[in-house]
Amino acid sequence: MSIVYNESAKSFKLTAKDTSYVIGIFDDDQFVCHLYYGDKLPDEDVNYLYGPVYQMRPSVLNRERARVMDWVPFEYPTQGIGDYREHCLEVETLDGHHTCDLHYVSHKIYAGKPALPDMPATFDNGDVCTTLELVCEDRTLQLEITLIYTTFETLDVITRTVRVKNNADRPIYLKRVLSASLDFDHQNLETLTLHGGWARECNPTRLPVVPGKLVTGNARGETSAQDSPLLALMDPGTDDDHGEVFAMNFVYSGNFYGCAEGHQFGGTRAVMGINPQNFTWKLIPGDSFTAPEVVMVHSNEGLGKMTRTFHDLYRNHLIRGKYKDRKRPILINNWEATYFDFNTEKLLDIAREAAKNGIEMLVMDDGWFGTRNNDDRGLGDWWVNEEKLPGGLKYLVDEVNKLGLKFGIWIEPEMVNANSDLFRAHPDWAIQTPGRPLSEFREQLVLDWSRKEVRDYVYDMIHKVLSSANIEYVKWDMNRTMTELGSAGLPADQQQELCHRYVLGVYDIMNRLTTDFPNILLENCSSGGSRFDAGMLYYSPQIWTSDDSDAIERLGIQYGTSLCYPLSTMGAHISAVPNHQTGRITPFETRGYVALSGTFGYELDVTKIPEEDRAMIPKQVAMYHKYNDLVREGDLYRMGSVYTHPEYDSWMVVAKDKSEALVTYIQVRAKPGFVGSVRKLKLKGLDPQTMYRDEETGVVASGTAWMSGGYWIENMSGDYVGKLIHLIKA
């Protein structure tokens, strides 16, 4: 078993591949303490890890308890007992008190990994996981808290969640239930978080840990483009290949909170979970509340190993369904081609030209339903506009299928326009605070998906549409954040449950959709990447990475996203130029290279692009089919980044068996002269002893030569140009 309890030391040692994590129980008060997290320990007896914690004798605690509590490395810190650092659990009793004091009661260790009720979570495949359930209680409150840890034996991964049960005879209010806490005995650390905004998601930000708090999080009702739920602590100067990294990623699609706090004793505490802002949960007698899962990844080989661990975990233990291990169809989406101005014949024109060039699916975006001819009306009225689509949806889909193409459709089921039949019939179904104006965003409001009757009504309409024709792909969008929080379906003392109940409602409908239509490829989207999170990947194997489709902008966006999420999950398309977001003009070939490191598709009017670009599409289609298995399944290594080398970007994907590798190089800015126009890349991830042949030049060299001697990129003229290098086992 990869989790062992040492009775004499009163400690638990959790082992995940090359990582150990140690929890201790302090003898007298049964405090649950964090003792170690790092490289794998061979020791059976880890008693020495207690250090000063072990010296806390009853006589000291009796006279200095409040002082001692402020430096104990609690495994799951609580509010009100003298620990003034970041805490994970805060309650409020009916009497208005907030103190909570946890003590160890019992534990159980078992093979496998439990599912979470009504929420996504990673899962085991066979016998690769072991789980510890560590039960604590606050005897005064009769509150039972179960800390749940799962180790992955083949990955440096430990997952964490918490279950809180009310065993008293009256309700208690949970004010904060975070999922994980980590204590470090020093502050010589840097944090890595991902920040941005619409069309500029997932920009890596590195800051040193200092006394005080570094916070990442949001309270917008969704994951958000502004902050992504990744918090990593690492050695100063950590790069892709060197340095120790401790990363936490939240498997959740709503408000989140991550914090790294440097405290007065020279240590650091990091926490992650549901954002306490706009959160209170009424826990009635006998009921339990389960927090979403936090995935913890440890790397002793820099950010690169962290990335590859996350990728392996999510590809094999989170993504599900028909397309989990399957090549995705190359699609063309009509949004940037037509916006709302389309009809059946226009879509068929695009489909005919797409089919000639090897594209495999037509996706009809916003504007096909209700009175939806612009973005101020129609959301919520999910029936086909037959004035725009004569003959209805089935006629269009059948005609597209006759051309040899699959058909996909865009929906935004969580939103509603005030100018819609749905809102006019049910104005109370929108999230709102009574007596206050409803703030519109993109001229839309958010439906209250905490209410089952609202979800059922909308899903019934969507189900009828998806059942009416051979629809094989759904793009699920969500284009606004939440304001004026309030639900007509919740009592006053449960209003702050709305945000979490909303996310559970989204999961409910996504679960229904993927169960009722198991062959549909579901792609999530939220104004681009505002809902790019591990929770969504449980339901959809791909997510639209950003509304910014400019290839050069995408270098940074896709770099930041790929720190945590696999290339196979990143929606990436070739769009027209001048680009609709930036106005930049980049070569069609370069746009293809960048989209290749994602799901690969087109976002343009194929009937209007230059002939030389159109002629390149069959070559790009062939490129996708040649390399996608490698890109989707291989290990990612980075040789450059626009954040560290603004003149170029380069990355490579290496097959799991080391038999081949694909290197992508993008020259962002050309420089004059021989020195400025050539560059040597030291490749990574190859087998040192294997001989590899460069498919283009025929040069054969060992993995050691390519990695230590490097690969010379010959002179490339101009900005925004690129190339692929394919190395195959000789």
Mean pLDDT of the residues in the chain: 95
b/e per residue 547-575 (b: at least 16 CB within 10 A): bbbbbbbbbbbbbbbbbbbbbbbbbbbbb
- Give percent above pLDDT 90 in the chain: 91
CA 105 to chain CA mean position, Å = 35
CA 273 to chain CA mean position, Å = 14
Mean pLDDT value across residues 604-614:
97
For residues 676 and 99, the model is more confident at 99
Task: Give the alpha-carbon dihedral of 203, 204, 208, 209, to 10 degrees.
Answer: 90
How many helices and strands (H and E) does the chain possess? 14, 39
DSSP code string of 517-529 = -TTSEEEE-BTTB
Residue 536 burial by Cβ neighbours in a 10 Å radius (0-12, 13-18, 19+): buried
Q: What is the pLDDT of residue 65?
A: 79
10 Å Cβ neighbour count for 356? 14
Of the pLDDT bands very low, low, confident and very high (cuts 50, 70, 90), residue 419 is very high
Q: Three-state DSSP class for 52?
A: helix
Identity of the amino acid at 607: T
Q: What is the pLDDT of residue 644?
A: 87
Give the tokens for residue 273.
């979970």
687, pLDDT greater than 80: yes
- Residue 491: CB partners within 8 Å, gap ≥ 6? none
45, pLDDT greater than 90: no
User: pLDDT digit string (tens) for 360-393?
Assistant: 999 999 999 999 999 999 999 999 999 999 999 9
Cis bond leading into 610, ω under 30°? no
Q: Which residue has the tokens 């309890």?
A: 5
If phi over 0 gives left and psi between -120 and 50 gives alpha, with beta otherwise, what is residue 212? left
Give the tokens for residue 545.
């990475």
Backbone angles phi, psi at 361, to 5 degrees: -150, 140
- The residues with which 693 forms a beta bridge, in sequence order, are 700, 728
- Give percent above pLDDT 70 in the chain: 98
CA distances in angstroms from 237 to 189, 234, 563, 659, 668, listed in the order given: 9, 8, 17, 32, 25
Mean pLDDT value across residues 324-344:
97
Q: Are 63 and 147 in contact (CB under 8 A)?
A: no
56, pLDDT greater than 60: no
Q: What is the pLDDT of residue 468?
A: 97
Cis bond leading into 208, ω under 30°? no
> Which range is least confidently modeled, 42-51, 456-465, 544-553?
42-51
Q: Three-state DSSP class for 314?
A: helix
59, pLDDT greater than 80: no
Alpha-carbon distance of 50 to 10, in angstroms, equals 10
Give the tokens for residue 207.
């800051």
153, pLDDT greater than 70: yes
N residues, the chain: 730
Mean pLDDT value across residues 4-20:
93
Q: What is the pLDDT of residue 556?
A: 97
- Domains of the chain in sequence order: 3-317 (2.70.98.60), 331-554+573-620 (3.20.20.70), 648-729 (2.60.40.1180)
- The residues with which 422 forms a beta bridge, in sequence order, are none
Of the pLDDT bands very low, low, confident and very high (cuts 50, 70, 90), residue 679 is confident
pTM (2 decimals)?
0.97
Q: What is the pLDDT of residue 486?
A: 98
Mean pLDDT value across residues 272-299:
98
Of the pLDDT bands very low, low, confident and very high (cuts 50, 70, 90), residue 50 is confident
Give the tokens for residue 293.
């899962």
Of the pLDDT bands very low, low, confident and very high (cuts 50, 70, 90), residue 199 is very high
Give the tokens for residue 433.
């605070």
C-alpha angle 49/50/51, rounded to 5°?
A: 90
Q: Which of 117, 5, 137, 142 is nearest to 76 (CA)?
A: 137
**DSSP state, residue 567:** G
Give the tokens for residue 63.
């006279």
Backbone angles phi, psi at 534, to 5 degrees: -65, -30
Mean pLDDT value across residues 342-370:
98
Identity of the amino acid at 101: D
Q: What is the pLDDT of residue 683?
A: 98
CA 124 to chain CA mean position, Å = 19
Q: What is the pLDDT of residue 58?
A: 53
Q: Are 412 and 368 in contact (CB under 8 A)?
A: no
Give the tokens for residue 390.
């004569």
DSSP code string of 416-477 = E-SSSHHHHH-GGGB---TTS----BTTBEEB-TTSHHHHHHHHHHHHHHHHTTT--EEEE-
Q: What is the pLDDT of residue 725?
A: 98
Quick one: angle between helices 392-402 and 344-356, nearest 10?
A: 20
Taking the alpha carbons at both ends of the chain, their separation in whole angstroms is: 41
Give the tokens for residue 715.
């002179």
Give the tokens for residue 69.
């509590």
> Which range is least confidently modeled, 441-445, 504-508, 618-622?
441-445
Q: What is the pLDDT of residue 675?
A: 61
Catalytic positions, please? 477, 547
118, pLDDT greater than 60: yes
Q: What is the pLDDT of residue 674?
A: 60
Of the pLDDT bands very low, low, confident and very high (cuts 50, 70, 90), residue 61 is low
Alpha-carbon distance of 210 to 333, in angstroms, equals 47
Q: Which of 620, 605, 610, 616 is nearest to 353 (CA)?
A: 605
Identity of the amino acid at 410: W
CA 720 to chain CA mean position, Å = 29
Quick one: angle between helices 588-596 and 551-562, nearest 10?
A: 10
Q: Which residue has the tokens 């489709």?
A: 549
Mean pLDDT value across residues 446-467:
98
Q: What is the pLDDT of residue 624?
A: 98
Q: Three-state DSSP class for 397?
A: helix
Alpha-carbon distance of 615 to 626, in angstroms, equals 18
